[in-house]
Amino acid sequence: MRRLNRKKTLNLMKELDAFPKVPESYVETSASGGTVSLIAFTTIAFLTIMEFTVYRDTWMKYEYEVDKDFTSKLRINIDITVAMRCQYVGADVLDLAETMVASADGLIYEPVVFELTPQQKEWQRMLQIIQSRLQEEHSLQDVIFKSAFKSASTALPPREDNSLQSPDACRIHGHLYVNKVAGNFHITVGKAIPHPRGHAHLAALVSHESYNFSHRIDHLSFGELIPGIINPLDGTEKIASDHNQMFQYFITVVPTKLHTYKISAETHQFSVTERERVINHAAGSHGVSGIFMKYDISSLMVTVTEEHMPFWQFLVRLCGIIGGIFSTTGILHGFGRFIAEVVFCRFRLGSYRSASVPLPDGHTSNHLPLTTDNSTH
């Protein structure tokens, strides 16, 4: 009974088959058809592999909107080494919104040796190469976003040699929380002191001969600290050519929400413009010697999302590749056979043309002469 039901079901399915069938006796194989089929299958295999590679890959989608968060604090992550002793320099932030000096209690002043070890120099050289490549190839930033938290730390390797050289520099590192408004983070001579009318540093006790604002920026970022992200100023080193020299960095900070398959964080990207000049009041170059980082917060926020091709879209593209290759090769094969038949048929017609036979009266006859057995004698 079950067998009968199965046969009925199979017969019903066969009756529902709407695709045309060509009897095998009507199919004629040829060398040209086999060659075209081989080319078609090879092309399908190659394009399928390429499409699978695209399916496995991801890309970053950028969306822009107005940043409506004005109440939260902005975190500044700092790791800068200045070629002066720690008792001679001071770092703080001047908040332009409240026209007051923000607290710099989160910074640590550590006496160090300014000259790097060979291992640290190699790290700095590699970081500078990456920075130069990022400026030329902006798409590499997507790779950095994808590899966040997975790549090695971008921090300066610790000093391994036990140098007996006395510290001649000051490493200022830590983080600060400031308002999300334009401000000025600066490192200059003397410690900062609170002042009701403005901003002051105790620089009178420091001689001008000890001024040396050669510095190295090992790390500077805004927002949440994300290992693996390389910022524009990481690895920057500037050597002062004069005691009274000012280094200025004009920074535009863009709030960024990063959503990948590995992390979800709120950070900040930034662009920077650099300027340096020697302070000479006699020549009209006024100012204060030091390192000044003037930052401004963009009103736009960028949302960076890692996206992946859906599986159904991969199947649709795969079916399009297979069907398109078969249709295209079939059309080309038919067109090629048509051209070949036309050319060969023309040659065959030429071979059956009648030969011209000269007559005694000077005329020619286009009829082929009859050959008989007697004509050979």
Residue 123 pLDDT exceeds 80: yes
pLDDT digits (tens, 9 = 90+) for 297-316: 888 888 888 888 888 888 99
* Number of other CB atoms surrounding residue 186 within 10 Å: 23
Higher pLDDT, 156 or 367: 156
Q: Structure tokens of 341?
A: 């038949």
Reported as a pLDDT band with limits 50, 70 and 90, residue 353 is low
Q: What is the largest CA-CA distance in the chain?
A: 138
Residue 15 pLDDT exceeds 80: no
Q: Which residues of 20-47 are buried (b: 16+ CB within 10 A; e: fewer)?
A: eeeeeeeeeeeeeeeebeeebeeebeeb
Residue 373 pLDDT exceeds 60: no
Residue 296 pLDDT exceeds 70: yes
pLDDT at residue 87, as a whole number: 86
* Number of other CB atoms surrounding residue 229 within 10 Å: 21
Mean pLDDT over residues 117-141, rounded? 78
Residue 243 pLDDT exceeds 50: yes
pLDDT at residue 283, as a whole number: 79
| DSSP 8-state secondary structure symbol assigned to residue 210 | G
Higher pLDDT, 366 or 241: 241
Burial group, residue 246, by CB count within 10 angstroms (0-12, 13-18, 19+): buried
> Residue 252 pairs with which residues in a beta bridge?
271, 296
pTM, full prediction:
0.67
Residue 215 pLDDT exceeds 70: yes
pLDDT at residue 292, as a whole number: 92
Higher pLDDT, 33 or 298: 298
Mean pLDDT over residues 240-254, rounded? 90
pLDDT-above-90 percentage for the chain: 8
* Number of other CB atoms surrounding residue 95 within 10 Å: 16
Residue in the structure block whose two tokens are 């001689």: 207
pLDDT at residue 331, as a whole number: 84
Which of 336, 335, 321, 334 is CA-nearest to residue 41? 321
Segments of 19-137 assigned E as strands: 58-66, 73-82, 89-95, 100-102, 107-112
Q: Which of 111-125, 156-170, 338-352 has the lowest mean pLDDT?
A: 338-352
Mean pLDDT of the chain: 78
Reported as a pLDDT band with limits 50, 70 and 90, residue 54 is confident
User: For residues 260 and 146, is the Cβ–Cβ distance under 8 A?
Assistant: yes
pLDDT-above-70 percentage for the chain: 74
Which stretches of 251-310 are DSSP H helices? none
